[in-house]
Amino acid sequence: MERLDKSVASSLTRFYIVALCVVAMLTISGLFLIRRTINNLNHDSRMVNVAGRQRMLSQRLTKLAILNVGQMKHSDSTQFNALVKIWKESHENLANKKLPVENGLVTWKSAALDSMFLDLMPVFDSIYLNFLLVNDSTIAVPQKQQALSQILEKEPLFLAKMDKIVFQFDKESFQRLENLERIEWILDIMTILVLFAEGILIFRPVVNTTRRVVKMLTESENALQLSNQKLKEANNQLLEAQNELLRVEEEKYELQLAEDRIRASALIEGQEEERKRFALELHDGIGQMLTGLKLHAEKLKSVQFHDEKNQKRFEQLVTLIQDIIQTTRQISFNLMPSVLSDFGLNAALRLLCEQTAELSGIKIEFDGDVNKRIEMNRPMEIGLYRIAQEALNNAVKHANADKIKIKLEQNKNRIILEITDDGKGFLISNLKSEDGLFLTRNGMENIRTRTQLLNGEMEIVSKVDSGTNLIVRVDL
């Protein structure tokens, strides 16, 4: 292939360039000659028209001269002087070989025409002078009649000579056409010869070279097809191995996800059980003891203390016991609210909103039907409650919100939990780590994990200074 590139391609390129240049030059030359001849023919037609008009003007001027000398009325409104002027200027332009056209002057070379115009000049001058005498109002009528006689005598000679001039113009124009035809034949024959030489010196070597190249390509293609067939078989085996490896990896990944989900579910379930047990311990154990302590303290209110300071300390002690009881109840409720198991998720969320609003001083609303309990399993009920509890705590601690709203609704077979606040908002990207997980310090990863364990969907919409909207959708 390297030999073909160097020996054939370069030589064929040179031949092509030379042949194309010759053909282009011949074509351009032919077009130039044709265009030039057409322009000349247009000028020839203009000259023939002007020469023919000279005959017409001379006859018209003769007629006007007769009418003028005879003092006869006529309808020709053309000024005699203007016609004489046009007739004279046209004759001088033809005689001087400078005929004005739209874009300039037309000139020509013709010894025959020069001789004819030179022979015509005395006749023209005689007729022109007599036209001037006829049109001169100071000349007497007999002199005008004599001038008219000379005009009538010279006019046939003028017309005859002008006919010869017109025919000479036409003859020379026809000769130029014949010359153009001969040149056109010469250019056509040269173009055909160049094309014939191009076919012998260029196209035939190209065909032979192409035949050799095609043969080499065919042999290479057959060898390539054989190699491709072997490579295809090897690729099929490799693909099968890759697919098997991918399947094993996918099964391993799914198994790992299932294990992580089971582990997380077991961990959360254990946490909930531990919270339930701890809440019962607080409520039934410490809570009952604190309640008994409060009763005993209230019975001592009737005892009179001799020291007023001791009386105030005792009252502070009673108040402290009451605060400890209230805090214990709040901790027990947060660990496992009894209203959740007794009245359902709607009632538990409403109570959560009321207690959080009382402690935080923020306006918290609950939008849901507390009189209707949504039937769902215990893990789903606890999971949705924990999601709402976590999101509400985040809004209270971090959002600087003036208003928070929790909405729970059932749409056919789907539960939708929505927590909205009008706080400062945030960028979602700031809550995620490099691997795409939510940072645990804000509780979002716990919400995401609980949502996944419920086979639900979580959506967060937040902008800076535009609040935050958390939506969790779970199918029953």
SS3 390: helix
Longest distance between any two alpha carbons in the chain, whole Å: 177
Q: Which residues contact 372 (CB under 8 A, 6 or more apart)?
A: 346
- Is the confidence at residue 471, as pLDDT, over 80? yes
Comparing 94-103, 172-181, 213-222, 247-256, the range with the smallest average pLDDT is: 94-103
Average pLDDT, the chain: 77
SS3 label, residue 89: helix
Stretch among 86-95, 308-317, 375-384 having the lowest mean pLDDT = 308-317
Asked whether the beta carbons of 369 and 347 are under 8 A apart, the reply is no
- With a cut of 60, say whether residue 3 has pLDDT above it: no
Q: Kindly state the average pLDDT of the residues 454-472.
A: 85
User: Per-residue pLDDT for 1 more than 50?
Assistant: no
Per-residue confidence (pLDDT) for residue 74, from 0 to 100: 60
Q: Does residue 80 carry a pLDDT above 70?
A: yes
Residue 289 has pLDDT above 60, yes or no: yes
When mean pLDDT is compared across 150-154, 174-178, 360-364, 441-445, the lowest value belongs to 441-445
Percent of the chain at pLDDT exceeding 90:
0
> What's 343-476's CATH class?
alpha beta
- 59 or 438, which is more confident? 59
Domain extent listing, the chain:
2-207, 343-476
Question: Is residue 418's pLDDT more than 60?
Answer: yes
CA distance linking residue 350 with residue 366, whole number of Å: 6
CB 176 within 8 A of CB 41: yes
- What pLDDT score does 334 carry? 63
Amino acid code (one letter) for 141: V
First to last CA, the chain: 73
105-109, 117-121, 428-432, range with greatest mean pLDDT: 117-121
Q: How far is it, in rounded angstroms, from Cα 95 to Cα 170?
A: 16
User: Would you place residue 351 in the very low, low, confident or very high pLDDT band (cuts 50, 70, 90)?
Assistant: confident
CATH number corresponding to 2-207: 1.20.1330
CB 468, CB 420: distance < 8 Å = yes
Q: Write down the pTM of the prediction.
A: 0.41
Output the 3-class SS for the chain: CHHHHHHHHHHHHHHHHHHHHHHHHHHHHHHHHHHHHHHHHHHHHHHHHHHHHHHHHHHHHHHHHHHHHCCCCCCCCCCHHHHHHHHHHHHHHHHCCCEEECCEEECCCCHHHHHHHHHHHHHHHHHHHHHHHHHCCCCCHHHHHHHHHHHHHHHHHHHHHHHHHHHHHHHHHHHHHHHHHHHHHHHHHHHHHHHHHHHHHHHHHHHHHHHHHHHHHHHHHHHHHHHHHHHHHHHHHHHHHHHHHHHHHHHHHHHHHHHHHHHHHHHHHHHHHHHHHHHHHHHHHHHHHHHHHHHHHHHHHHCCCCCHHHHHHHHHHHHHHHHHHHHHHHHHHHHCCHHHHHHCHHHHHHHHHHHHHHHHCCEEEEECCCCCCCCCCHHHHHHHHHHHHHHHHHHHHHCCCCEEEEEEEEECCEEEEEEEECCCCCCHHHHECCCCCECHHHCHHHHHHHHHHCCCEEEEEECCCCCEEEEEEEEC
Residues 6+ apart with CB under 8 A from 214: none
- Label residue 115 exposed, middle or buried (CB < 10 Å: 0-12, 13-18, 19+): exposed
pLDDT for the residue 41? 58
Q: CA 399, CA 10: separation in Å to the nearest integer?
A: 78
DSSP structural state of residue 110: -
Confidence tier at 280 by pLDDT (50, 70, 90): low
